Structure 1
Amino acid sequence: MADDGLTFVIPAHNEEAAIASVLDSIRRVVQGDGLEAEIIVIDDSSTDGTAAAAAAHGARVITVPMNVGYGAALRRGIEAAAHSRIVIVDGDASARW
């Protein structure tokens, strides 16, 4: 059976102020297109409320207890993905959906 789902992987470090907007934007796109999707936020040892904000907006959160950097955080998210099609999104809302 074909895997029609998408996994959105979002590495984030101290993005509490932006993460809700990013997640809301992704959800609008996913729901509008009727896609099956999971959203994973990799909290790269944030010192703010990034993980809590992401969880409150329905994301699966993987917390990295020591700052590993963008690439390593991204790899952890990809390894945890349930779907073979992966979309990488920055946690700072730099992309306009």
Structure 2
Amino acid sequence: MPTKKKKPAAKAKPAKKKWQLYVLLCKDGTLYCGITNDLERRISQHNAGKGARYTRGRGPVSLLRSWPQKSKSAALRAEFSFKKLSRCAKDAYLAA
């Protein structure tokens, strides 16, 4: 009787990281908004001067708030909408 070959054990896929919209407070009091799927790494990049050009001379930065998004495209749309707001409206949105 032929023996059945065993299927190799399925390797666990690393968990997909969720996209997030985040807002940083720069040391000069300005806000920076961006998206990422690894928030800790991204904030470290900003503080190391290797993040966005805007934050390079304005560090250190601190995280004010972040919101999970369903997908990268949803995160991009949320970022675009947030960046269109006035500073007063952004502050109100962050306070809520």
TM range (shorter): 0.3 to 0.5
TM-score of the aligned structures, taking structure 1 as reference length: 0.35
**Which structure carries more relative contact order (alpha carbon 8 Å, separation 6+)?**
1
TM-score of the aligned structures, taking structure 2 as reference length: 0.36
